[in-house]
Structure 1
């Protein structure tokens, strides 16, 4: 299950970066902000998984 969550985190980070870049390119501040939020959510998910891995070993 951890591998699945890590993949979700990476996908969320990538989606956020893409959305942020697209928002910046078209001048849409809301889209840019949503991209930053999605990226941060992916970062948090990744940090959670890394913490869980640290306690497994």
Structure 2
């Protein structure tokens, strides 16, 4: 008799994956637009990271 091992639970839920993906898209968009507006890479990275963090918090509350 061969025993099949139970499948492990997923690393992320679908909701968490959607929230993180949308936040990443938002942060990338903001960072890119900031870079095109000013040409400063450091400011673009900071703006993108800030937007990603804000989007995670916003989407976590909005997506049920």
TM-score when normalising by structure 1 = 0.53
Show the counterpart of 1:36: 49
Of structures 1 and 2, the one scoring higher in RCO (CA 8 A, sep 6+) is 1
Q: In proportion to residue count, which structure has more helix?
A: 1
Query: Residues 1-57 of structure 1: matches in 2 within 5 Å?
Result: 2-27=13-38, 32=44, 33-37=46-50, 38=52
1:17, 1:35 within 8 Å by CA — same for their partners in 2? yes
1:19, 1:31 within 8 Å by CA — same for their partners in 2? no
Alignment: residue pair count: 40
Q: Where do 5+ consecutive residues of structure 2 fail to align?
A: 1-11, 57-64
TM-score when normalising by structure 2 = 0.48
Shift of 1:27: 0.6
Q: Where do 5+ consecutive residues of structure 1 fail to align?
A: 43-57
Q: Over aligned residues, Cα RMSD in angstroms? A: 3.1
